[in-house]
């Protein structure tokens, strides 16, 4: 019998058709020239300068955080250099009422959403005050479990919808996170209930040391949204304007009741996966690093602003000095924060403490008072 479904089972054709839907969206080329006028976002000169300032400030924060980690003054730290456009331009498109559910590399978004830098440092140290969001900062603390934030985002977004609020929940994971079960469960639930969510996959090419090509055969990560009916897009994650515009339009869709969106940002982390012993030289070549450094989001955006007469070396140095000063003050404040006690952890864990722990609590309280 001749096969009747040959066309439907032509995997190569299906893959080609799917891949053609996800050509990477770009606004600025590597030299800071506009290559797509129709997608240039409607940002004022002051807003453009503010976004660049945040990116420069965050690059300095990354450099200082790596140094502080090596000095033993910070605990867990995941470097962010190279991903500033992906992280900060997406956050820049949000409003204060929007809710951020970050992964562990996404502390910069929390800071610019309102988390004090001191608290960010305390989070790195494992201090309970580092997981406390100030009043008015709609966010959860960074998720350590890979992909779990996607399920949480679906729930938060549904809550926003049920309350009738014009806001969104946005979350981030890496390319490796897109292979987790929680990733699929989260996007499927959000799609089924048209929850106002924005799901960002920051494709930095490596899930720790596993290259993207080894952990999925999908031509793009954006296409993973097709199966659950989510409009999806792949953007140049080293291009701040492209990331901003994609996020802004995804937010508009969400608050207009059109449901969630999936954004894959093509980016790169210059440093190790985390400072906990990862050595990227064992799985990445210097040639690869050099190629991505040519696409540096700060260099590209800097050239764009310089061509518009909005940026200068003096302005950048001013931002750098401000960053250094604020980081120095924040780490000093973190150093002066009282160390957490066992009774602190027990206090914040239970509203009604079990009897056996209540007995232990009194023992620790007595020890701590001496």
Residue positions annotated with a catalytic role: 269, 273, 283
Q: What is the SS3 assignment for 209?
A: coil
Are 311 and 302 spatial neighbours (Cβ–Cβ below 8 Å)?
A: yes
Q: Long-range CB contacts (< 8 A, 24+ apart) of 5-8?
A: none
Cα Rg of the chain (Å, integer): 22
Sheet holding 169-174, edge to edge: 99-101, 169-174, 197-203, 261-266, 232-236
Question: How many Å from the N-terminal Cα to the C-terminal Cα in the chain?
Answer: 87
- CA-wise closest residue to 154 among 185, 133, 179, 110: 185
Q: What is the Cα–Cα distance from 27 to 239, expressed in whole angstroms? A: 7
Token digits of residue 149: 């934030």
Sorted by sequence, the CB contacts under 8 Å of residue 162 that are 6+ apart come out as none
Are 54 and 266 spatial neighbours (Cβ–Cβ below 8 Å)?
A: no
Q: What is the Cα–Cα distance from 132 to 190, expressed in whole angstroms? A: 26
C-alpha distances (whole Å) from 223 to each of 115, 208, 220, 232, 324 are 33, 22, 6, 7, 41
């Amino acid at each position: 019998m001749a096969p009747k479904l040959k066309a439907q089972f032509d995997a190569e054709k299906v893959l080609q058709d799917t891949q053609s839907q996800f050509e990477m969206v770009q606004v600025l080329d590597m030299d800071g020239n506009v290559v797509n006028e129709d997608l240039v976002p409607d940002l004022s000169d002051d807003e453009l300068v503010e976004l660049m300032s945040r990116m420069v400030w965050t690059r300095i924060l990354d450099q200082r955080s790596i140094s502080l980690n090596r000095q033993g003054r910070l605990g867990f730290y995941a470097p962010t250099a190279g991903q500033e456009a992906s992280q900060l331009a997406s956050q820049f498109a949000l409003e204060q009422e929007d809710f951020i559910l970050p992964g562990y590399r996404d502390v910069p978004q929390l800071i610019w959403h309102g988390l004090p830098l001191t608290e960010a440092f305390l989070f790195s140290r494992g201090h309970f005050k580092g997981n406390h969001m100030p009043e008015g900062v709609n966010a959860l603390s960074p998720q350590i479990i890979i992909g779990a934030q996607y399920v949480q985002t679906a729930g938060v977004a549904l809550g926003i919808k049920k309350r009738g609020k014009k806001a969104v929940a946005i979350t981030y994971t890496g390319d490796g996170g897109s292979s987790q079960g929680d990733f699929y469960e989260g996007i499927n639930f959000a799609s089924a209930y048209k929850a106002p969510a924005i799901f960002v996959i920051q494709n930095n090419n490596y899930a720790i040391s596993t290259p993207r090509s080894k952990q999925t055969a999908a031509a793009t990560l954006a296409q993973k949204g097709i199966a659950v009916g989510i409009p999806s897009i792949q953007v140049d994650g080293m291009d701040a304007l492209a990331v901003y515009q994609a996020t802004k339009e995804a937010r508009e869709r969400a608050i207009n009741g059109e449901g969630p969106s999936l954004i894959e940002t093509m980016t790169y982390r210059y440093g190790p996966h985390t400072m906990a012993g990862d050595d990227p030289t064992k799985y990445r070549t210097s040639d690869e690093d050099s190629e991505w450094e040519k696409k540096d989001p700060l260099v590209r955006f800097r050239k764009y602003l310089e061509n518009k007469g909005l940026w200068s070396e003096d302005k950048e140095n001013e931002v750098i000095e401000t960053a250094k000063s604020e980081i120095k003050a924040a780490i000093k404040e973190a150093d002066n924060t009282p160390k957490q006690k066992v009774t602190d952890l027990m206090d914040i864990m239970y509203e009604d403490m079990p009897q056996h722990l209540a007995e232990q609590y009194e023992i620790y309280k007595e020890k701590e008072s001496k």
